[in-house]
Structure 1
Amino acid sequence: MHARCKLLLILLLASLLQGCALSRAQIRHADAVVAASIDRQSTCATADHCPTPSPLLDTAQKVLAESTPARPVHVVTLLDDSEASLAARISLIRAAKTSIDVQSYIWDEDDLGQLALNELIAAARRGVHVRILADQLFSFQDPAMLAQLARTSPNLEVRLYNPTFHAAHTPPLEFAAGVLCCFMKFNQRMHNKVLVVDDTIGITGGRNYQDRYFNWDNDFDYVDRDIMVGGPAAREMAKAFNRFWNHKRAVPLTHLRDVNRLILRTPSPPPWPAPRYVYPARVAAAQEEAENQAWLAEHVASNSLYTSKVEYFSDLPAKTEQPTRREAREYTAHLMRMVSNAKREVVLQTPYLVMSRRAEKIFKNLHREDPSPQIIVSTNSLASTDAFAVYAVSYKHRKTYLTRYGFNIYELKPRAELANDAYMQANVEDEDGGAPLVA
């Protein structure tokens, strides 16, 4: 009986919160307060917005200038190392002249999240148009911080994707209510991770803005990688960002109940605070590497390849809203056609080796060809994943993948020797405490 009462209470809460959207008058009022109180300080008076030179952006601009529709040119860099991936991001943000678009599933308020956010604020204050789109569920959980962020610079715009019950923060009870009352809408998350600078160069891949994605967490780290692409494909990345930015689920901060309320309560907010890093020496080291052109040349640019055609794919926002519509499955259909036409080799890397029936049919047909293309798959082992249920589904079909489809499967070790070295390099000695930053 007690459990039934709790369930009824949660459902009642959900029904009340569903109708708690702000009125247009409330939104207009908050927009007016933001316009009147926004921090208009500028750190640059020149037309180019005072960029810091970056060999990464310079190379991208060069290949873009050389490209034609018939003969595109790209520079592509695999960012395996988290240290290089972070330095590349900082370098590009500081080098931006016109625009920066950032899209992420997770944006924490730890050292990494603060560093990325403050670098973007600095770019906005020197005149660059900065847009941040983050999935609401695991990003920027402090409404007071967002109320300040909304007024940090007229060149900075922030939107949260698919906010639960029209708010930035989701307490546990509201989380449960979202799951129970409206799971399909609640589960329509945005997992895209993109950074595009000046529509010329972009980074996409598996890393969110959180310590554990850049080898900075003392207890737990993910092994991820990014791809940095300079050239025409960066414009496709920018178009994909715009599709999500302009979607009805991308909600401006003044439209969120808790943020709106705090903006109206504080018509004269304090200035944006200086970051408070747990390990400031580590942050300083990353910034120094981003400013060191020789370091970037050795650790980032040296891994670059020059190539012609590069395609960037991204799911459409409508895929989660109306998945049966043909245009909503455009990316999936295109990818399937590419795999179906393989002649020599298909290389897949995925944390979760679970396939749809359509994908199974494609690989089954490829295996029947003579000669059949080689299928190489890199994925997690049970010891290296935190998604145990998903691995169980994959394991259930493992024999079929090996025998019927001819997969060559490689699983990640739980703790590679290379990971130890990377951790020691990323966690430098802190200037304040004097002790190495090792857990």
Structure 2
Amino acid sequence: MPLIFRLYLILVASLLAACSTVDFDQPKAASYANLDTSDTRLGRNLAPLREARHPESGFSPLSLGIDALSARLLLIGLAEKSLDVQYYLVGNDPIGAVFFEALLKAADRGVRVRLLIDDIGTRTIEHQLAPLDSHPNLQLRLFNPFANRNARGLDAWDLHRLSRRMHNKTLIADQELLILGGRNIATEYFAANPAYNFGDVDAVAMGTVARDASTMFDRYWNDRYSIPFEHLTDPEKNALSLETLRLELKERSQELAGSAYGSLVGDRALAMTDIHADEYFWSPYQLIYDNPQKALSQEAPPEEKLSYSLGKVAGDAKEEIFVLSPYFVPRKAGVDWLSAIADRGVQIDILTNGLAANDHIVVHGGYAPARKPLLRKGARFFELRGDIVMEGTKASEASEAKSKLHGKAFVVDRRHLFIGSFNWDPRSANLNTEMGVLIDSEAFAGAFAEGMYEALDENAYEVFLEDGALRWRAQREGTTEVLRKEPEVSWWTRFLANLSRLLPIRGQL
């Protein structure tokens, strides 16, 4: 065959592959949460409490990474009937291995596991997905998947669709207990990454909120964009068997099991085994989440958008708003909206990543222009330092790692507290689906805000204006230092951050 003809066939094959599409209308079986948990351990212990405290629910914060991992493993271990698991990302690392191994053990003992993962980050775990899905008690679906499993770059023509992601994060055990918040499943979210680790916020919740979360999960699970993994690949071509996967996961998880970190996770999970309802903040709440249709770029009713509910609460603030957001990109309309709130005498305080702590320089470029106009309105900015030692990293031998912020929360008037997956940026507002819980509790909101403010001096720079120029105030060992440039970074990083302001991509940040 002539070379030119071979090249022609290769070109045609590549173009055909590039135009591959996902069949979103291929029939799939609908399934729903089983709300009859009376014969489960969690049901017997918690159902009477749920019924007695209805319509309130109980919430307990998870700030430390080790506690957050321990709680997830505990819930998976306690489940007897069902586990509904929804995440944006699961890493191909020891934490991801521990997580998948725990889910398989639950499936082995007869628990129905429904696992819904956004497809944006599955490339590194692609080889694990088919064997996971082959377990008779584990069902796997991918949200808004790529058509080309082995050459995802060929899907670039479909960027408009693929730029919209499911950012939700929740784990529900027997429809009685759940964990929600900002953490994905990877080492950096649980103080176990040697390079960098995230400070984050989750909450364990019990009561009717778990039933509401199950309704949300069902809606996403049965959505048109949630595709059974078996529809995306040929199981016969998978080189990895379930038993081989078990050995791989066991080998990776052993990296933690025999360490001081692993022992601490086990100790904390054991300490959490006895669930005491009086240790939770019981209060009215609203579970809020985006309509999955947001991922299809279709317009949903305002009340079915998370940003609508958050904007309503923040807009009604009387005294104070505290925002915790790793990515804060309000754009001009957001700056004007916050300025109008500040003009009413509301104190607005924002804790976000400094340039040294931000894992996306272009996001910092989108955030930086908002500082001066909001500072002039009386808002206060605090930027996380990258050189702090995050709690738990000594046990994982990662105390030299950089620290970054990933938690998403805000407090209004020390009464309303939001914990969830929503960043204050255009991507969360307009492109990704998000979820969280809005808690009406002066006790919980007040304690959360107090804890945040107490931690600022040692963990963040305060940004302020001096003769119209930005300055950074740092507290170091009892002394105050004022810095005239973005701290902890080189001139080159500052240059790239400033240059990124010119990029016409703020709507994608």
Structure 2, gaps ≥5 residues long: 1-9, 30-37, 403-509
Aligned to 2:406: none
CA drift at 1:80: 1.0
Per-residue CA distance 1:279-306 (angstroms, 9 max, x = gap) = 431375256225523x667xx9799542
Map residues 33-432 of structure 1 onto 2, 5 A cutoff.
61=47, 63-69=49-55, 72=56, 74-139=57-122, 141-152=124-135, 154-165=136-147, 167=148, 169-171=149-151, 174-175=152-153, 177-179=154-156, 181-257=157-233, 259-262=234-237, 270=243, 273-274=246-247, 275-277=250-252, 278-282=255-259, 284-285=262-263, 288-289=266-267, 291-293=269-271, 304-327=279-302, 330-369=305-344, 372-404=345-377, 406-417=378-389, 419=390, 421-427=391-397
CA drift at 1:140: 6.1
TM-score normalised by the chain length of structure 1: 0.76
Per-residue CA distance 1:337-363 (angstroms, 9 max, x = gap) = 111111122221101111155533432
Q: Which protein is richer in strand relative to its size?
A: 2
Distance in 2 between the 1:19 and 1:249 partners? Answer: 16
Q: Could you say what secondary structure the match of 2:219 adopts? A: helix
Per-residue CA distance 1:297-356 (angstroms, 9 max, x = gap) = 7xx979954221122222222223225443586322222111111112222110111115
CA drift at 1:63: 3.8
Distance in 1 between the 2:163 and 2:278 partners? Answer: 38
Distance in 2 between the 1:60 and 1:11 partners? Answer: 60
8 Å CA contact 2:335–2:373 kept in 1: the answer is no
Aligned to 1:433: none
8 Å CA contact 1:83–1:286 kept in 2: the answer is yes
Per-residue CA distance 1:118-166 (angstroms, 9 max, x = gap) = 11111122122111111112126444432222222x221111111111x
Aligned to 1:42: none
Rate the CA distance shift 1:68–1:270 in 2: closer, same or farther, 3 A.
closer
8 Å CA contact 2:66–2:265 kept in 1: the answer is no
Distance in 2 between the 1:216 and 1:322 partners? Answer: 36
8 Å CA contact 1:99–1:130 kept in 2: the answer is yes
8 Å CA contact 2:302–2:308 kept in 1: the answer is no
Q: Could you say what secondary structure the match of 1:134 adopts? A: strand
Q: Could you say what secondary structure the match of 2:115 adopts? A: strand
Distance in 1 between the 2:15 and 2:379 partners? Answer: 46
Distance in 2 between the 1:414 and 1:196 partners? Answer: 33
Distance in 2 between the 1:416 and 1:136 partners? Answer: 33
Rate the CA distance shift 1:381–1:12 in 2: closer, same or farther, 3 A.
farther
8 Å CA contact 2:196–2:401 kept in 1: the answer is no
Q: Could you say what secondary structure the match of 1:221 adopts? A: strand
- What one-letter code is carried by the residue in structure 2 that aligns with 1:310? Y
Identity between Structure 1 and Structure 2 (%)? 23
The alignment of Structure 1 onto Structure 2 pairs a total of residues equal to 381
Q: Could you say what secondary structure the match of 1:182 adopts? A: helix
Aligned to 2:431: none
Distance in 1 between the 2:349 and 2:18 partners? Answer: 48
CA drift at 1:261: 4.5
8 Å CA contact 2:85–2:171 kept in 1: the answer is yes
- Higher mean displacement: 226-235 or 139-148: 139-148
- What one-letter code is carried by the residue in structure 2 that aligns with 1:385? N
Distance in 2 between the 1:10 and 1:213 partners? Answer: 42
Q: Could you say what secondary structure the match of 1:75 adopts? A: strand
CA drift at 1:115: 0.6
- Higher mean displacement: 272-281 or 230-239: 272-281
8 Å CA contact 2:132–2:242 kept in 1: the answer is no
CA drift at 1:207: 1.3
- What one-letter code is carried by the residue in structure 2 that aligns with 1:136? D
TM-score normalised by the chain length of structure 2: 0.66
